[in-house]
Amino acid sequence: MTTEKMALAKAINESLRTALDADPKVLVMGEDVGKLGGVFRVTDGLQKDFGEERVIDTPLAESGIVGTAIGLALRGYRPVVEIQFDGFVFPAYDQIVTQLAKMHARALGKIKLPVVIRIPYGGGIGAVEHHSESPEALFAHVAGLKVVSPSNAGDAYWMMQQAIQSDDPVIFFEPKRRYWDKGEVDKDAIPGPLHKARVAREGADLTLAAYGPMVKVCLEAAAAAQEEGKSIEVLDLRSMSPIDFDSIQASVEKTRRLVVVHEAPVFLGTGAEIAARITERCFYHLEAPVLRVGGYHAPYPPARLEEEYLPGLDRVLDAVDRSLAY
């Protein structure tokens, strides 16, 4: 075993490098991904090593980036597209939803669209407007897309490998405020399935389900609750489409309580779907309604207010208390 400790951003960089090395059809494309290495340096050094033909600086036009990536995929390439920030994806939303997601079905399966769209997402970095959003539900709602988000460096490395190998389009949400968090990466590991949830911490009294940047918050909440004698299980969902309901169900049948946590607005978010499904699957196991902690039905606020908007340790623990009070 050859584990190495590295930042989440570096793990994605290494994963892209592995993929570019292994398959000449893999391309990296996006705004500033070349010489600059991306605004977060996730693609740092890749153009230098693989050339401008494979690590492609594009014009500043998101629809154009995704639309041409679709064309490249039709030609047999496997483009990995970078959208610079979450709030910049919407010019490409039509190409993603109307074309990328549906083309395989439209062709009755005769063509495949192995396109990965990387989106740094979420808040907590004190950014200006449009740089802190969590639009994953808008993509998970669309049949034909797969939506994933790693929470740690090891998962980031392997989930990117698997996303690139997928013959389906994958929207790959990268928790930008965790880019610099270090974790173990084992490049020789045999990874589990891409869309399977992971038990990040075992517990008996309540399940916290989260993904991406909120997994860390939930782990901290579980540790804090432990001091009060509460045993909290933390599930890292990893995939928002498909969602691993079986793993959530198994956990809830054990703990009988579920709180779903995400940065995205609660209304019609991933948590809403999980609450509905788990209520249906675990009706007789539940001791409390499924609760949700997330953003509000308001535009992502200016940076000075984001601490109030984002679910933090206290808001998660508040929901834990409310659930346990039933």
Q: How far apart, in whole angstroms, are the C-alpha atoms of residue 186 and residue 206?
A: 30
Q: Which is nearer to other proteins, 195 or 256 (CB)?
A: 195
Should residue 61 be labelled a site residue for other proteins when binding is judged by CB under 8 A? yes
Restricted to residues 129-168, the positions that interact with other proteins (CB under 8 A) are 143-144, 146, 166-168
Structure tokens at 23: 């398959």
> Is residue 95 close enough to count as binding other proteins by CB under 8 A?
yes
Is residue 195 involved in binding other proteins (CB under 8 A)? yes
Whose tokens are 């340790």? That residue is 313
107 binds other proteins (CB under 8 A): yes
Catalytically annotated residue among 104, 131, 195, 262: 131
Note whether 64 binds other proteins by CB under 8 A: yes
Contact stretch for other proteins (CB under 8 A) within 60-68, 122-130, 282-290, 299-307: 60-68
Q: Among the candidate windows 104-112, 128-136, 152-160, 206-214, which touches other proteins by CB under 8 A? A: 104-112
Residue 128: CA atoms inside 13 Å, Cβ hemisphere, count?
1
Residues 6+ positions from 30 with CB-CB distance below 8 Å: 38, 43, 56, 57, 58, 65, 81, 82, 83, 84, 118
Q: Catalytic: 297?
A: no
Q: What one-character-per-residue DSSP string does 260-315 give?
A: EEEEEESTTSHHHHHHHHHHHHSTTT-SS--EEEEE-SSPPPPGGGHHHHS--HHH
- The binding site for other proteins (CB under 8 A) comprises 53, 58-59, 61, 63-64, 66-77, 91, 94-95, 98-99, 102-113, 143-144, 146, 166-168, 195, 241-245
Active site positions, annotated:
131
